[in-house]
Each structure stands twice: as structure tokens, then as C-alpha cells.
Chains A and B, each alone.
Chain A
Amino acid sequence: QSVLTQPPSVSAAPGQKVTISCSGRSSNIGNNYVSWYQQFPGTAPKLLIYENDKRPSVIPDRFSGSKSGTSATLGITGLQTGDEADYYCGTWDSSLSAGVFGGGTKLTVL
């Protein structure tokens, strides 16, 4: 049982938009920055979004992040088959004094 809650899977057609939610509580998302990671099978995760809504320079602007209260959302527009991967949200939990991740969401581009 992960501290942060993500849907196990989402799907959409190529070219469409998808959102992935990440739900937490005040001790984690509510009072700390959220990051998002993309992971392809057999490879290390890659940072997509940091500080809720900032993108590293190498990440295309098709990827976006937002946060409201104790929830965060990753958005991906112009879906490509190459976006099929697992996506994780992560943050710090001030009550646990520990890092926490969501359980991960598998994106399928139909």
C-alpha cells in the first residue's frame, strides 16, 4: 500500500491527451513539492517534472505538472506510442521524514 495513490493504469489513443492523478495528504503533497518520473521496462526512472510543474530542459512541453491541495496531476498531450511506460509521482512526507512514491501508473497508448 503506497502512501501516494495513483490509478494503476490509464489509456488513450495516439495524439490524444491523458492525465494521471496522484493523491496524498497534507504531510506530503500538501506541504512539499511533487516530482514525476517516467520508467520504461528494464531501465532506470527518468525525471519528468520537479517542484510540481517545472520541466528539465530535455523534457518536451507535451508533459506538464500541476498541484492543488493534496493532489497532483501529470498531463501528457499529443500522445505517442513511445510514451507507453510506467509513471510515478513522488514527494517528501514531513510526518514520516521519508520520501514517498505513488504505486505507479501504466500508460497504454492504444
Chain B
Amino acid sequence: EVQLVESGGGLVQPGGSLRLSCAASGLTFSDYGMSWVRQAPGKGLEWVANIKKDGSEKYYVDSVKGRFSISRDNAKNSLYLQMNNVRAEDTAVYYCARGAKSFGYWGQGTLVTVSS
């Protein structure tokens, strides 16, 4: 059974940093591109970033370029999202998802709240 478990969310001040992690099991992690998708409270889904299976290519939504960085460690079956200089509008549930363009499995999400 594929499982994706996010962690690292919490309350952070504007301008602060946070690192989200996603632990994958039940799949050959290195065979798949991976993505982060977020959902602000009461809002729709927003794709944030993806990374190819070998980490060679990464793409970001414009609103996080230069502030967020996606990475992975295939030896640890883990995906990461480094969030720097966060803003109030980054407040959302962040989901880790299997796939770079279509998302076959999703984690349960981790809530990031940006507030002073």
C-alpha cells in the first residue's frame, strides 16, 4: 500500500522559514516524479512545485519562485519543501503527491499557518 506522510507544518511568522518533509513507502520512490500541492483554507487546489524522479529538473508556481525549494533523497524515500521568506498567502494545507503532472496518490497533508 502506497503511503505518503507529510510532516513539518506549523505556525511560522511572516518572513520566516519552514521545511516540510514527505516520507514515502509502498512504492519504488525513485521511479516517480513528485509534487507539492497546497490548499488555502476554504479554497481550491494549487500546484506548488514538482521534481523529476532523479531530481534533475524542478518547476515552481510563479508565486513561490525564489522562495521555495523542492528536493528529494531517493535513498531515504523522502521529498522535501524548503519554504523561505513565507507570506500570509502561503497559509495552506500542503500535500505531497506522487507524480509530476498527474497525482495518483496523496498524503494527508500538513498545515502551514503564516501569522505574527
A residues with a Cβ closer than 8 A to B are 2, 32-33, 35, 37, 39, 43-47, 50-51, 56, 86, 88, 90-92, 96-104
Contacts and interface: CB of A to CB of B under 8 A. Distances in A.
Contacts, number: 62
Interface stretch (B23-31, B45-53, B77-85): B45-53
B47 A99 contact: yes
Most B C-beta atoms less than 10 A away, residue of A43, A101, A102: A101
A50 B95 contact: no
Interface string B73-116: 00000000000000000000001000001111111110000000
Contact of A98 (B45, B59, B104, B109): B59
B47 A90 contact: yes
A52 B19 CA distance: 34
A102 B45 CA distance: 8
B101 A101 contact: no
B45 A45 contact: yes
Interface of B: 35, 37, 44-47, 50, 59-62, 95, 101-109
A25 to B, nearest CB: 17
Nearest to A43: B108
Contact of B62 (A51, A98, A104): A98
Given A99-B37, A99-B61, 13 more contacts: A33-B102, A35-B101, A35-B102, A39-B45, A44-B109, A45-B45, A45-B106, A90-B103, A96-B62, A98-B47, A98-B60, A99-B35, A101-B47
A92 B37 CA distance: 13
A92 B101 CA distance: 6
Nearest to A98: B61
10 contacts: A33-B102, A35-B102, A44-B106, A44-B107, A47-B102, A47-B103, A98-B47, A98-B62, A99-B35, A104-B44
A97 B103 contact: no
A104 B62 CA distance: 21
B105 to A, nearest CB: 8
